[in-house]
Amino acid sequence: MHDDGFTSPSPSPADRPLGVLIGFDDSDHAVLALHYAARAAQRMEAPLTVVTAYTVPTMAYADAALIPSVPAEVARLAAAQAQLEQAREHLRGYPGEVDLRTEHGDAAGVLVRLSAQAQLAVVGARGRGGFLGRMLGSVSSALPAHAHCPTVVVPQQYEISTAAGPERFAPVADDAPVVVGVDLYQPDDSAVRHAAAAAVNRGAPLHLLSVMPRPDAWGQAYMAWLPDPDILEKHRAELETELETLAQSLRTEHAGLAVTSEVVLSDPISPLLRSTTTAQLTVLGTRGRGRVASTLLGSVSQAVLLRAEGPVMVVPTQSPDKGADAAAEQTPPR
């Protein structure tokens, strides 16, 4: 299973004091994400911030006043602190800086708020906070959509190192590519720049993947308008030229970076899903074709997260760190 992290040199780490932010609820998925985040923080030489959130139920009284239940608050806080102790145990031997903290509030809201102070946010594919569809946890859906920094969602296929002590969290070389989804119809370079810098940091190749919709998705009216039976291949050639131009600019910007590009005729989801089975990291933007609103996770990105078999990094399209580069951590091949 592949592992990855990223660091942003702009703004400076001092402006992002939480370093790598991980939401932890002691679920199996959270344990995987914790190891992933610890390894990323090691590579980035950044702090690791482990957060457990809790909410306090209210009690209704005859006068309709709603006040927190003090015993319930104490119990919830104690439970959250117990979860952090489990995190501490999982991090035994970790040599880096760790901050374990409890936060009052909804888990997704807490992580989104704290992500403004983090270089990278990490979350398991699902946890104890509910489900979206059949597989993706509510927090792992909300965080990539609204985070103020890139977010990595760690799938259940991720494998924790069996080494002991600090070696358990050490980065491991991986020659698998970094794959980034490029939407040539709605260009945004945030994900591409983060993916390129991640590949440079790993010494890995970068693969630019763009999808040309199948004709049956264009609509009958548009298909009837097509004057040239070879229009599909011509359009595909145009897209390939555009994508290769982008690839060449990345090679120029990052000396020594091996960049390949590919335009596939397909639905937008299947090729990206396939990439998650072999890539050490698949990078997506928060928005894409079929978006419902600018504040929501793009339908393509969301669909990939639901079924991804490898780590997926989601980069905010309107990121406050729009000029930031990324660096990445490696993991052993599956």
User: Nearest Cα to 261, choosing from 174, 194, 184?
Assistant: 184
What total of structural domains would you count in the chain? 1
Q: Is 329 a member of any domain?
A: no
Q: Is 327 a member of any domain?
A: no
- Which domain, by its residues, includes 91? 13-59+67-315
Measured distance CA(272)–CA(265) in Å, rounded: 12
Which residues lie below 8 Å from residue 40, measured CB to CB, with a gap of 6+? Answer: 3, 4, 5, 6, 20, 120, 122, 152, 329
Residue 162: strand, helix, or coil:
coil
Q: pLDDT at position 94, please?
A: 97
Q: pLDDT at position 23, please?
A: 93
CA 297 to chain centre: 12
Q: Is 235 a member of any domain?
A: yes
In whole angstroms, how far apart are CA 25 and each of 51, 118, 189, 263, 282? Answer: 8, 19, 34, 40, 25
pLDDT one-digit tens code per residue, 190-211: 999 989 988 887 789 999 999 9
The Cα angle at residue 289 between residues 286 and 291, in degrees rounded to 5: 60
For residues 228-233, average pLDDT: 72
Q: Is 141 a member of any domain?
A: yes
pLDDT one-digit tens code per residue, 209-218: 999 887 665 5
Q: pLDDT at position 6, please?
A: 42
Q: Is 271 a member of any domain?
A: yes
What CATH code is carried by the domain that includes residue 80? Answer: 3.40.50.12370
Q: Is 23 a member of any domain?
A: yes
For residues 120-145, average pLDDT: 65
Q: Is 328 a member of any domain?
A: no
Least confident of 150-164, 192-206, 285-299, 308-322: 285-299
DSSP string for 268-320: SSHHHHHHTTT-SEEEEES--TT-S-TTS--HHHHHHHHH-SS-EEEE-TT-T
User: Nearest Cα to 207, choosing from 223, 196, 222?
Assistant: 196
Q: pLDDT at position 4, please?
A: 46
Least confident of 16-30, 74-88, 111-125, 128-142: 128-142
Measured distance CA(302)–CA(235) in Å, rounded: 27
Place of tokens 């049956």: 216
Which residues lie below 8 Å from residue 68, measured CB to CB, with a gap of 6+? Answer: 56, 57, 58, 59
Q: Is 227 a member of any domain?
A: yes
Residue 285 pairs in a beta bridge with 315
